[in-house]
Amino acid sequence: MSLRKFLDKIKPNFEEGGKFHWLYSTYDAFETFLYVPATTSKSGVHIHDARDSKRTMVIVIIALIPALLMGMYNVGYQHYLAINTQAGFWGTFLYGFLAILPQIVVSYVVGLGIEFAMAQVKKEEVAEGFLVSGLLIPMIMPVDTPLWMIAVATAFSVIFAKEVFGGTGYNIFNVALIARAFLFFAYPSKMSGDQVWVRTADTFGLGGGNVVDSFSGATPLGQLAVSDAARFGDFTFQGITGNPLSLWDMFVGLIPGSVGEVSTLAILLGAVLLIITGVGSWKTMISVFLGGLFTILLLNLFALNASMEMPPQYHFLLGGFAFGAVFMATDPVTSARTEKGKWIFGFLIGVVAILIRIFNPGYPEGMMLAILFMNAFAPLIDFYVVDANIKRRLKRAALPNNH
Amino acid sequence: MANRIKIKKGLQIPLLGKPEETFRGEITSEYVQVCPEDFQGITPKLKVKVGDTVKAGQALFFSKMYPDMMFASPASGTVTAIDRGEKRRILNVTVKADRENVYEDYGKKEIATLSAEEIKKALLNAGIWFVIKQRPYDVVANPGKEPRDIFVTGFDTAPLAPSYDFILKGQEADLQTGLNALAKLTKGKVYLSISPNTKNEGLRNAKNVTITEFEGPHPAGNTGVQINHLAPVNRGETVWTLNALDVLFIGRLFNKGVVDLTRTVALTGSEIKQTGYYKILIGTQLTKLFAGNVSGKGNLRHISGNVLTGTKITGDGVLRANHSQVTVIPEGDDVHEAFGWASVSPKRYSAGATYLQLKKAYRLDARLMGGPRAIIVSNEYDKVFPMDIFPEQLIKSILAFNIDKMEQLGIYEVAPEDFALCEFVDTSKLELQRIVRTGLDMLRKEME
């Protein structure tokens, strides 16, 4: 217990009257990270559930890890495909790992730095929410996003999407998606098109080489958006070297796209963990898919072009649909908070995401905008769900005598 | 056959230290102490001063708002101390008890011959009116306002709760007399809620009441939940609530003519070596109860009541007025658990599935197990709140003190105890019962 003794020794410096009292929140964050606080209840219940905010966030992070690892592998896979070199399993993974790691570090350093400073100013404990957002941010960016852009976007979203509203628990919009949306609108050339999804340059000297002639870095959804095929049957999704992509490739995640979204298989693993532990709402997840399915089938019926004809399985496997449904729509703070509300909230996300995909010529993918759009409407959905309860109560009171 | 209502939402927290159904004797103490804070919503005015002698059942203080409402001394003896706190608020009144309790004689009375007014007067005057609480506000009932209905709960589902069947055995006559008295106090119904497992004849075959069985986990035994399912409280209505053990005091007053504030108390909790039941007078110091019967490891938390709604007392504290249970658990302020957020320890209990769910009883201490946060996780309170009310939205309206919203969302139907399980499971570690209590008090001030 020497670490404990050390903490006890330095603790007085951070308490009221101590030299470093202005750093108390920081000290507290590290102490509570290392040890469960020994604070006992002062009012109300005498015992508490072992689940706290830290536990909740850690479960989400664990759920993200399969998608992150698959994403890293895919970054390497696409890279070596582009330069037509064999690097073996570990070499491939290492390349992706080294490409993504700096982005994660930058996102955490910038975001947590701001969070710590804000907690310090407000004299509060540091909330854990950014531990998840900070990992999500690099996972929903194209791999070639420059580090400075990740830093700027993270700072922007933490300050303007979260802290100005009061911090974790009070934000209206999903913090990670705001970071992405910020870059999407501020630096569109770096966030879309067909140059950003595959890292072709070397990483720390690893994986240098020349890109093959047939290379094209467009994502499958991007290919479909610019295709002039009249029917979906005439169209084939291609990998970056022109090879046709199978449904299996899309399911496992060997396709160009944002880092975390490519592997539906890995996302499903995360979804299973979130659902079993009850940390993510299965109602939201299922309803996003239901909303998507409904819209797709409807559009399939009245299909006028290839993208309207695309069957549901492609929609669900491509782009950020699954990732958004599992990890973004379920963010409890920005989602609807009532159970009925979650069904409506999720369903509409599915509907809007597919509509943007198919009808907006500028954006091949609609998930980000659909979720942000519905974030804005979540309080309204809850309002009507709660209002039904209020109306029932008023009606009951108006009856002369109810027994 | 009684109606049966099934409660699905809720949580039975599996704690170590269930009370063994054995009667282990009587506990007495030299001094008996009454704490006015036990009587919610009452401003006490003293009726005695230090040095006065009182009989058991004579008033120690009365209510400032309703001067007829007396508060009885549980024991006969001499008033030795009156402790005051901030703003001269009375903290407690201490009586040095006689060796043999001498009772004030209120005379045996036949309920059938009494009018409602006479019964009410008798209860107020004898100083046991405090057993009747009211909704809205969850305070000692306003005697001036006639209740729409009266709700009596005949079982307790809280963690390690005492068995009403065991306690009521042999006291069925007093229970029935008490229920008869209550039936006279309302033009509406007296609802008695019982557990489907109850075998006590006094509960199962009670007369003059509407019996309903409530099946399910805690808080099925809370009156708030029962009212919400039977006949919810609307704006402008008042209902009274009691538990069956408190009804005994009313029965004894009319059957025996005395105020006998003896409770049969369950001694429970993981740190108790030998659990069981004791006869204890309200206000008795519990030193002898704990002596030699608690574990010696680490700091302890002594609770009068249960782990969800009880009052923290010291090892020489007293049995509080509303409790038929005493619990001792570890305090936990000397425990430093490393990396709790990554723990897979089987000692940790969670209602959710972020920990392994084991079929065993747990030894939980009083730590918060985390730090206070803003409300983040949704649908957490709802899962343990079996009422047609949105708990999270109601809490938020209280925090904002938005009276219209509070009314619309059902503030009149709830008591702090209804939020106890929400507070237990809360990931954000908020003091929900305190929030609800403050909200009710502020609302009452505003409305009355």
Q: Is A41 on the interface with B (CB under 8 A)?
A: yes
Question: DSSP string spanning B38-99?
Answer: GSTT--EEES--TT-EE-BTSEEEEESSSTT-EEE-SS-EEEEEEEE-GGG-EEEEEEEE-S
Q: A339 to chain B: which residues are within 8 Å by CB?
A: 379, 382
| Nearest chain B CA: its distance from A317 CA (Å) | 28
Ramachandran area for residue B353 (φ above 0: left; ψ -120 to 50: alpha; else beta):
alpha
Buried b (16+ CB within 10 A) or exposed e, B46-56: bbbeeebebbb
Flag if A45 and B350 touch (Cβ within 8 Å): no
CA distance B167 to B262: 12
Question: How confident is the model at residue A400, as a pLDDT?
Answer: 59
Checking if the pLDDT of A401 tops 90, the result is: no
Question: How confident is the model at residue A272, as a pLDDT?
Answer: 97
Q: pLDDT digits over B276-317, tens only? A: 999 999 999 999 999 999 987 889 999 999 999 999 999 999
- Given pLDDT bands bounded at 50, 70 and 90, which one contains residue A397? confident
Q: CA Rg, chain A, in Å?
A: 24
Q: A126 to chain B: which residues are within 8 Å by CB?
A: none
What are the structure tokens assigned to B240, written together?
């009274």
CA distance B46 to B38: 16
Please, are residues A378 and A340 in contact by the beta-carbon 8 Å criterion?
no
Flag if A39 and B333 touch (Cβ within 8 Å): yes
Q: How far is CA A329 from the centre of its chain?
A: 9
Question: How confident is the model at residue B1, as a pLDDT?
Answer: 59
| Nearest chain B CA: its distance from A40 CA (Å) | 4
Question: How confident is the model at residue B394, as a pLDDT?
Answer: 97
| Nearest chain A CA: its distance from B244 CA (Å) | 23
User: Which chain A residue's Cα is nearest to B349?
Assistant: A50
Please, are residues B94 and B75 in contact by the beta-carbon 8 Å criterion?
no
Q: How far is CA B369 from the centre of its chain?
A: 25
Question: How confident is the model at residue A7, as a pLDDT?
Answer: 87
Q: Which of A205-209, A333-337, B396-400 has the lowest mean pLDDT?
A: A205-209
DSSP class of residue B302 equals E
Checking if the pLDDT of B372 tops 70, the result is: yes
- Given pLDDT bands bounded at 50, 70 and 90, which one contains residue A231? confident
As a whole number, the mean pLDDT across chain B is: 95
- Given pLDDT bands bounded at 50, 70 and 90, which one contains residue B439? very high
Flag if A37 and B371 touch (Cβ within 8 Å): yes
Query: Taking residues A306-326, what's their average pLDDT?
Result: 93
Please, are residues B152 and B244 in contact by the beta-carbon 8 Å criterion?
yes
For B342, which of A42, A58, A382 is closest by C-beta distance?
Answer: A58
What are the structure tokens assigned to A238, written together?
């291609």
- Residue contacts between A and B (CB atoms, under 8 Å): 213
CA distance B139 to B39: 7
What are the structure tokens assigned to B242, written together?
């009691």
For B369, which of A36, A43, A394 is closest by C-beta distance?
Answer: A36
- Given pLDDT bands bounded at 50, 70 and 90, which one contains residue A387? very high
Please, are residues B198 and B165 in contact by the beta-carbon 8 Å criterion?
yes
Question: How confident is the model at residue A403, as a pLDDT?
Answer: 45
In chain A, the percentage of residues whose pLDDT exceeds 70 is: 99
Flag if A170 and B234 touch (Cβ within 8 Å): no
CA distance A257 to A384: 37
Dihedral angle sign, alpha carbons of residues A114, A257, A185, A216: positive
Q: pLDDT digits over B79-91, tens only? A: 999 999 999 999 9
Q: Is A214 on the interface with B (CB under 8 A)?
A: no
Q: pLDDT digits over B94-138, tens only? A: 999 999 999 999 999 999 999 999 999 999 999 999 999 999 999
User: Which chain B residue's Cα is nearest to A54?
Assistant: B341
Q: What angle do CA A113, A163, A62 make, to 5 degrees?
A: 60
Question: How confident is the model at residue A106, as a pLDDT?
Answer: 97
Dihedral angle sign, alpha carbons of residues B400, B406, B409, B412: positive
Query: Taking residues A7-34, what's their average pLDDT?
Result: 87
Checking if the pLDDT of A61 tops 60, the result is: yes
For B:163-222, CB contacts with A below 8 A are: 188-189
Q: pLDDT digits over A88-101, tens only? A: 999 999 999 999 99
Query: Taking residues B138-143, what's their average pLDDT?
Result: 96
For B336, which of A35, A277, A392 is closest by C-beta distance?
Answer: A35
Upstream peptide bond of B136 is cis (omega within 30 degrees of 0): yes
Q: pLDDT digits over B243-252, tens only? A: 999 999 999 9
A83 φ/ψ angles, rounded to the nearest 5 degrees: -100, 5
Q: B388 to chain A: which residues are within 8 Å by CB?
A: 389, 392
Checking if the pLDDT of A402 tops 50, the result is: no
Q: pLDDT digits over B181-195, tens only? A: 999 999 999 999 999
Q: Who wins on pLDDT, A293 or A234?
A: A293
Q: In Å, how far are B4, B211, B230, B415 from B1, measured between CA atoms?
A: 9, 9, 17, 30
Checking if the pLDDT of B210 tops 70, the result is: yes
A371 φ/ψ angles, rounded to the nearest 5 degrees: -70, -45
Interface test mutation site (partner B, options A6, A41, A399, max chain B beta carbons within 10 A):
A41
Q: pLDDT digits over A149-206, tens only? A: 999 999 999 999 999 999 989 999 999 999 999 999 999 888 877 788 888 888 888 8
- Given pLDDT bands bounded at 50, 70 and 90, which one contains residue B61? very high
Query: Taking residues A236-258, what's their average pLDDT?
Result: 92
Flag if A49 and B388 touch (Cβ within 8 Å): no
Dihedral angle sign, alpha carbons of residues A111, A115, A117, A118: positive
What is the helix (H) or strand (E) element at residue A392, kind and residue range?
helix A367-398
Question: How confident is the model at residue B202, as a pLDDT?
Answer: 94
Flag if A50 and B13 touch (Cβ within 8 Å): no
Q: Is the ipTM of this complex over 0.90?
A: yes
Q: B300 to chain A: which residues are within 8 Å by CB?
A: none
Please, are residues B107 and B257 in contact by the beta-carbon 8 Å criterion?
yes
Question: How confident is the model at residue B402, as a pLDDT?
Answer: 94
B329 φ/ψ angles, rounded to the nearest 5 degrees: -130, 165
CA distance B303 to B298: 16
Flag if A389 and B353 touch (Cβ within 8 Å): no
For A:237-296, CB contacts with B below 8 A are: 276-279, 281
Q: Is B349 on the interface with A (CB under 8 A)?
A: yes
Flag if A51 and B354 touch (Cβ within 8 Å): yes
Checking if the pLDDT of A361 tops 80, the result is: no
Flag if B373 and A32 touch (Cβ within 8 Å): no
User: Which chain A residue's Cα is nearest to B393?
Assistant: A386
- Given pLDDT bands bounded at 50, 70 and 90, which one contains residue A210? confident
Segments making up each domain of chain A, as ranges: 53-191, 280-390
Flag if B434 and A56 touch (Cβ within 8 Å): no
**What order do you get walking across the sheet with B190-194 strand by strand?**
B3-6, B210-215, B190-194, B150-153, B239-243, B133-135, B139-140
Q: Who wins on pLDDT, A227 or A48?
A: A48
CA distance B201 to B199: 6
| Nearest chain A CA: its distance from B254 CA (Å) | 30
- Which residues is B140 bridged to in the sheet? B133
Please, are residues B331 and B301 in contact by the beta-carbon 8 Å criterion?
yes
DSSP class of residue A203 equals B
Q: Is A169 on the interface with B (CB under 8 A)?
A: yes
In this prediction the pTM is 0.93
CA distance A268 to A271: 5
Flag if B339 and A54 touch (Cβ within 8 Å): no
Question: How confident is the model at residue A390, as a pLDDT?
Answer: 94
- Assign 3-class secondary structure to A8-31: HHHHHHHCCCCCCHHHHHHHHHHH
B394 φ/ψ angles, rounded to the nearest 5 degrees: -65, -45
